[in-house]
Amino acid sequence: MFVRLKMEDAREGLVATISQRDDDSKITGRPSIFLVGDKEEAKQRARAVARGLGLKTYRVLDITSSRMPPTIRPA
């Protein structure tokens, strides 16, 4: 299992989606979708979810206009 953070630009600001995924990358449970002030806030929330599940890393999918390369970050 892993946690994925997806960040997207929206009219209202930055939309972050945190989802739990199984080993086949299928969503398990309901994703959390929320507006954040910046990318760092979204990463902090994803890190907290990952740690709460006992995971050491989470994945980032950044599809904003200021993209970062895909990464796996320590939780």
DSSP per-residue letters across 21-62:
E-TTS-EEEEEEEEEESSHHHHHHHHHHHHHHTT-SEEEEEE
2-74 CATH choice from 3.30.420, 1.10.287, 3.90.1690, 1.10.3470? 3.30.420
Q: What is the DSSP letter of 64?
A: S
What is the pTM assigned to this prediction? 0.78
Answer yes or no: are the C-beta atoms of 16 and 5 closer than 8 Å: yes
Residue 11: what pLDDT? Answer: 87
* Per-position pLDDT tens, the chain of length 75: 889 999 998 888 899 999 999 889 899 989 999 999 999 999 999 999 999 999 888 888 888 876 555 556 676
Ranges of each domain in the chain: 2-74
Residue 13: what pLDDT? Answer: 86
